[in-house]
């Protein structure tokens, strides 16, 4: 990764940044708009496994980096575009959901003045919670929220507060980044907290690697949920109090009714 210049060079004609979502995994879920931007790009910037989802071709430069250097990655992309590059910053899912769009705009706000004049666009993608919900029915069919369980960029006390308030408001929840090797205990703490706030029958959907060959779906009541059911490729959907299960083979449907009685 190149260093950010102290003084921005004059912006070359044609330079732009597109922040794109590659969807949950299946190439069929990459939007035509994103595919067209990648086809026109001179540079692809992103976390290593996401960059490697983009097919190599002549004239395309690939800039892979670690998952904890988001701001540096964003600055690099903006610098390339300021030099005339057509840059696609890739994220999995949707780039605006716990992904690179926020990092790019943070870099713009605090970076070189010339970056604010760049052509910067965000192209949506299919985020994990929507792909997971579609697999099992409509668990997010009424009011819901998404919570990132990682405490890398915020204190765990804030994660707990948001979980409590989401249960109090009876939102269905999509829990992102539940459990990693670096954070093996947080998801267990989250489940313990949910057990103090919800009934044992509250439905949970563990959706791992949806739309890929490694896809695995488990639907269990809260009482049977275990931390080991989740990893960083899993999104966990927590039903609202009204979320229902329709038994069937080979897998039940899960949905949250749109009507709620007073």
pLDDT-based confidence at residue 67 (cuts at 50, 70, 90): confident
- Tokens 């539940």 belong to which residue? 178
CATH code of domain 16-126? 3.40.1010.10
Q: How far is CA 238 from the centre of its chain?
A: 17
What confidence score (pLDDT) does residue 64 get? 95
pLDDT-based confidence at residue 100 (cuts at 50, 70, 90): very high
CA distance 227 to 171: 21
CA distance 2 to 11: 17
- pLDDT tens across 216-240, in order? 999 999 999 999 999 999 999 999 9
pLDDT at 162 over 90: yes
Class of domain 129-255 as given by CATH: alpha beta
- When the pLDDT of each residue in the chain is averaged and rounded to a whole number, the result is 93
Residue ranges, CATH 3.30.950.10, the chain: 129-255
**Angle, CA of 159, 160 and 164, to the nearest 5°:** 120
Give the dihedral sign, CA 209/215/221/224.
Answer: negative
Residue ranges, CATH 3.40.1010.10, the chain: 16-126
State what percent of residues in the chain have pLDDT above 90. 88
Average pLDDT over residues 59-66: 94
What confidence score (pLDDT) does residue 13 get? 56
Name every residue whose Cβ is closer than 8 Å to that of residue 232 and which is 6 or more positions away in sequence.
177, 178, 179, 180
Residue 214 corresponds to which tokens in the numbers above? 């490694």
């Amino acid at each position: 990764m190149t260093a950010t210049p102290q003084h921005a060079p004059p912006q070359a004609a044609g330079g732009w940044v597109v922040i794109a979502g590659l969807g949950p995994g299946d190439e069929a879920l990459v939007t035509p708009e994103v595919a067209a931007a990648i086809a026109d790009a001179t540079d692809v910037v992103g976390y290593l496994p996401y960059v490697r989802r983009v097919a190599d071709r002549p004239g395309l430069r690939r800039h892979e980096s670690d998952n904890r250097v988001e701001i540096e990655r964003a600055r690099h992309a903006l610098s390339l575009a300021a030099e005339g590059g057509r840059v696609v910053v890739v994220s999995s899912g949707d780039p605006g959901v716990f992904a690179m769009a926020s990092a790019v705009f943070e870099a713009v706000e605090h970076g070189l003045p010339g970056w604010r004049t760049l052509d910067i666009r965000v192209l949506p993608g299919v985020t994990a919670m929507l792909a997971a919900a579609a697999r099992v029915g409509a668990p997010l069919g009424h009011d819901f929220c998404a919570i990132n369980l990682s405490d890398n960029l915020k204190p765990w006390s804030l994660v707990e507060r948001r979980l409590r308030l989401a249960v109090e408001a009876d939102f269905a929840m999509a829990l992102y980044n539940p459990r990693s090797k670096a954070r093996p205990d947080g998801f267990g703490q989250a489940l313990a907290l949910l057990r103090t706030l919800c009934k044992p029958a509250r439905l949970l959907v563990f959706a791992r690697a949806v739309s890929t060959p490694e896809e695995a779906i488990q639907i269990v009541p809260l009482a049977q949920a275990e931390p080991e059911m989740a990893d960083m490729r899993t999104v966990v959907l927590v039903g609202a109090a009204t979320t229902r299960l329709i038994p069937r083979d080979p897998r039940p449907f899960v949905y949250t009714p749109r009507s709620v009685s007073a």
